[in-house]
Amino acid sequence: MPPSKLAIAIHKLTSCSGCQLAFLNQGVVLLDLLNKVEIKHFIEGGINNFSAEVDIAFVEGSISTPEDLERAQHIRQHSKLVVSIGACATSGGIQALRNLSDENWLQAVYAKPEFVSSLQHSTGVAEHIKVDFELWGCPITIQQMNHFIQQLLLGSKPKPSGEKLCMDCKRQQQVCVLVTQQAPCLGPVVRTGCGALCPTFGRACYGCFGPSEQPNCDSLANQFAGLGLVSVEVAQRFAAIHSHSQPFRDQFHRWQTIHAKEVE
Amino acid sequence: MIKHFLARQHLDQLFSVLSNAGYQVVGPTVKDNAIVFTELSHVEQLPWGRQEIAKPGHYQLTDTSTNRCFAWNTGPQGLKPWLFKPEQPLWQAEQTEQGLCFRQASIEAHPIAVIGLRGCDLAALKLQDQHFLQGPYPDPYYQAQREQLFIIAVNCAQSAETCFCVSTGDGPEATHSFDLVLDELEEGYLMGCGSEQGQAIFQQLTLGPQVSKDQLHTAQKQLADASQQQRQMPDEDSLLKLTENLEHPQWQDVADRCLACGNCTLVCPTCFCSKQESTSDIKLQQAEQVRLWDSCFSEQHGYIAGKLFRPEIRHRYRQWLLHKLANWQQQYGRSGCVGCGRCISWCPVGIDLVAEAQILVKGTPHEPTDR
């Protein structure tokens, strides 16, 4: 049987703090949630007890600095379950764009780069410590978070979902923007979770929820090229919020290579 | 069938008569660059002078030079979402002092009159009826709406590039399952009746005398024109050979292109797969079970007893094609494809079901095509 009240901590590494709002933005439902969980650590919510022993540690943010790495290891030691939340924690976030560059941007941007202490790459939490569950999304949604907690409270193993965005989009009977507008929509390789927000407003998905199950990025990228995107544009479609996720990273490098050959 | 003439300016009468008879009119309109079926209140909402250009992976609307409102063939959806809803609540459960209390989700249906359905759509309806109504456990949600459905079919006067209903035997003429049927001519409509309910509506309209020989001839010529189609699905006997070609290299060739996004199955008017999801409130006092459209292209759809039965995309495409074109023949007495071509135009990478089937029924392994 699961405990009657779960002890949880909400941690932040390198991130914009937006995913933690899935707790704060619940409104009155938060009061119901607090009957089921006890928040031991949540700096954004005013509770600071970094070393509290908890059942679940929700970790937002990427491993981007040496301190991030130390904290992630500390969190692991004090938590039964570690759950990474959001694009930064699952795949390194937007700041992982620096992983794709060979140039020393630090030198170019900062007058005194020696004062900046950061790792060469920004990476997801699971690349460094054992992570039990991942909630993808930029940002994650209240519904996603609560559904996850409910499953644990009921004593069932949370079911991962890698379903493709197209499925949700078609259930809502949105008209496909890829087919009608030749818009470079990432829906066929992106996991659902946002409610097909962009296609609902006639725009191409740009992948906030990360790669779906079995993403055939090769074929979709070929189609983008067929629709008239030049190779550097195809590469850039995959270099946004989840550029460090393996399938998107591979596609970025593939089209960068094609672009480099074209330039030669 | 005796047909009568309905002048174009009297088409709005059809709307008002249906409305007075208690029906909500549902029909085609232009939305988000496509022909979409929606609730309509007046004839101006119909897609006057619009036609689709449908190709593999491509759908665009264009203006025609005619004053017609049925100059198109299909949109992304036909009748399916009105009967087999994409999201259907099934039951709710509540914690009470007496224990768990279960309630079936309410069955909500109201009379709708759908205008603009084609031969392919009606063939699909017949197949969905077979699946949802004629087994040992009829689906109550489908059944309730099905019983309150009035259909005004339209004979196709042209075919889109993706149409192949002639080869499946389902079009371009609407021959069954309708209450009223229309041929759209330059000067108006020829209207025929297919049921008593249709007759009741028919009698309230300002119709001309029986139509002229010229008008009948024009309607016949339009059907003949619509029968000139570029694609031909192999016949049903040939399609059975798909089951003998399970290791054909073409399965991998198509899997290299296939996104496994499920679009083909969700726009298909005969696909009926679903899954169920549970949700509860955070207090864990109330729960709901919902049925959602699913697809054999989804990984979890083939997850049974801890194992993925169809781990690779090639297995899933093969499952779809084999079931739709071959195994349906044992299950439902005919192929599950009605030749509407939706899966071809709405595939984001333009995979052509007919072209794939033609290669796969041959059964002679060959070098994969260069694409």
Report DSSP state, residue B319.
H
Residue indicated by tokens 């073409």: B250
User: Does A164 contact B298 at a Cβ distance shorter than 8 Å?
Assistant: yes
- Both tokens of A166, joined, read 């197209």
Is the CB of residue A219 less than 8 Å from the CB of residue A234? no
User: Does A185 contact B345 at a Cβ distance shorter than 8 Å?
Assistant: no
Band (B371; pLDDT cuts 50, 70, 90): very low
Interval B365-369 mean pLDDT = 50
If you measure CA to CA, which chain A residue comes closest to B344?
A: A179
- Per DSSP, the three-state class of B233 is coil
Is the CB of residue B161 less than 8 Å from the CB of residue B54? yes
Better-predicted residue by pLDDT, B364 or A152: A152
Distance (Å, whole) CA B145 – CA B111? 7
Any B CB within 8 A of A174 CB: yes
Pick A167's closest partner by Cβ from B77, B267, B298: B298
Residue B365 reports pLDDT greater than 70: no
Is the CB of residue A45 less than 8 Å from the CB of residue A15? no
- For A180-235, what is each residue's pLDDT tens digit? 999 999 999 999 999 999 999 999 999 999 999 999 999 999 999 999 999 999 99
Distance (Å, whole) CA B348 – CA A182? 9
Pick A188's closest partner by Cβ from B261, B284, B298: B261
Cα Dmax for chain A: 65
Where are chain A's structural domains?
6-153, 165-263
| Assigned CATH topology for domain A6-153 | Rossmann fold (3.40.50)
- For B137-182, what is each residue's pLDDT tens digit? 999 999 999 999 999 999 999 999 999 999 999 999 999 999 999 9
* CB-CB neighbors (< 8 A) of B31 in chain A: 175
- For B95-132, what is each residue's pLDDT tens digit? 999 999 999 999 989 999 999 999 999 999 999 999 99
Pick A219's closest partner by Cβ from B256, B284, B345: B256
* CB-CB neighbors (< 8 A) of A170 in chain B: 86, 262-263, 266-267, 293
What is the pairing mode between strands A133-135 and A79-85? Answer: parallel
Strand partners, B289: B91, B278
Residue A159 reports pLDDT greater than 90: no
Q: Minimal CA–CA distance to A60: which of A98, A90, A99?
A: A90
* CB-CB neighbors (< 8 A) of B60 in chain A: 180
User: Does B32 contact A175 at a Cβ distance shorter than 8 Å?
Assistant: yes
Residue indicated by tokens 């570029």: B230
Q: Tell which of B74, B95, B282, B371 to mutate to test the A interface (max A CBs under 10 Å).
A: B282
User: Average per-residue pLDDT in chain B?
Assistant: 95
Pick B33's closest partner by Cβ from A33, A180, A213: A180
Band (A132; pLDDT cuts 50, 70, 90): very high
Give contacts of A 18-37 with B, CB under 8 A.
29, 32-33, 35-36
Distance (Å, whole) CA A23 – CA A162? 23
pTM of this structure: 0.94
Residue A1 reports pLDDT greater than 60: no
Distance (Å, whole) CA A36 – CA A154? 11
Which pLDDT score, from 0 to 100, does residue A160 have? 80
Residue B353 reports pLDDT greater than 60: yes
- For B297-315, what is each residue's pLDDT tens digit? 999 999 999 899 999 999 9
Which pLDDT score, from 0 to 100, does residue A106 have? 83
For residue A68, the one-letter residue type is D
User: Does B60 contact A176 at a Cβ distance shorter than 8 Å?
Assistant: no
If you measure CA to CA, which chain A residue comes closest to B311?
A: A214
Distance from CA of A22 to the nearest CA of B (A): 14
Interval B202-220 mean pLDDT = 91
Is the CB of residue A134 less than 8 Å from the CB of residue A69? no
* CB-CB neighbors (< 8 A) of B36 in chain A: 173, 175
Any B CB within 8 A of A170 CB: yes
Q: Tell which of B77, B100, B261, B312 to mutate to test the A interface (max A CBs under 10 Å).
A: B261
User: Does A167 contact B261 at a Cβ distance shorter than 8 Å?
Assistant: yes
Distance from CA of A156 to the nearest CA of B (A): 12
For residue A7, the one-letter residue type is A
Pick B284's closest partner by Cβ from A154, A178, A216: A154
User: Average per-residue pLDDT in chain A?
Assistant: 95
Any B CB within 8 A of A175 CB: yes
CA distances from B165 to A149, B86, B121, B235, B268 (A): 50, 25, 10, 12, 14
Where are chain B's structural domains?
4-226, 236-362
Pick B313's closest partner by Cβ from A189, A214, A223: A214
- Both tokens of A113, joined, read 């780069």
- Both tokens of B133, joined, read 């109504």
HEC assignment per residue over chain A: CCCCCEEEEEEECECCCCCCHHHHCCCCHHHHHHCCEEEEEEHHHCECCCCCCEEEEEEECEECCHHHHHHHHHHHHCEEEEEEEHHHHHHCCHHHHHHHCCCCHHHHHCCCHHHCCCCCCCECHHHCCCCCEEECCCCCCHHHHHHHHHHHHCCCCCCCCCCEHHHHHHHCCCCCHHHHHCCCCCHHHEECCCCCHHHHCCCCCCCCCCECCCCCHHHHHHHHHHCCCCHHHHHHHCCCCCCCCHHHHHHHHHHHHHHHHHHC
- For B31-81, what is each residue's pLDDT tens digit? 999 999 999 999 999 999 999 999 999 999 999 988 999 999 999 999 999
User: Does A147 contact B292 at a Cβ distance shorter than 8 Å?
Assistant: no
Pick B33's closest partner by Cβ from A29, A36, A175: A175
- For B270-291, what is each residue's pLDDT tens digit? 999 999 999 899 888 999 999 9
Distance (Å, whole) CA B211 – CA B5? 6
* CB-CB neighbors (< 8 A) of A161 in chain B: 300
**ipTM of the shown complex:** 0.94
Distance (Å, whole) CA B231 – CA A171? 29
CA distances from A8 to A41, A57, B287 (A): 7, 6, 24
* CB-CB neighbors (< 8 A) of A36 in chain B: 282-284
Give the percent of chain A with pLDDT over 90: 89
Residue indicated by tokens 């290891």: A73
* CB-CB neighbors (< 8 A) of B341 in chain A: none
* CB-CB neighbors (< 8 A) of A146 in chain B: 282
User: Does B349 contact A223 at a Cβ distance shorter than 8 Å?
Assistant: yes
Pick B284's closest partner by Cβ from A153, A213, A218: A153
Q: Minimal CA–CA distance to A190: which of B261, B310, B257?
A: B261
Residue A2 reports pLDDT greater than 60: no
- For B226-257, what is each residue's pLDDT tens digit? 999 999 999 999 999 999 999 999 999 999 99
User: Does B258 contact A178 at a Cβ distance shorter than 8 Å?
Assistant: no
Strand partners, A38: A7
Could you tell me which residues come within 8 angstroms of residue B137 by beta carbon, excluding any fewer than 6 positions away? Answer: none
Which pLDDT score, from 0 to 100, does residue B370 have? 47
Pick A171's closest partner by Cβ from B256, B259, B292: B292
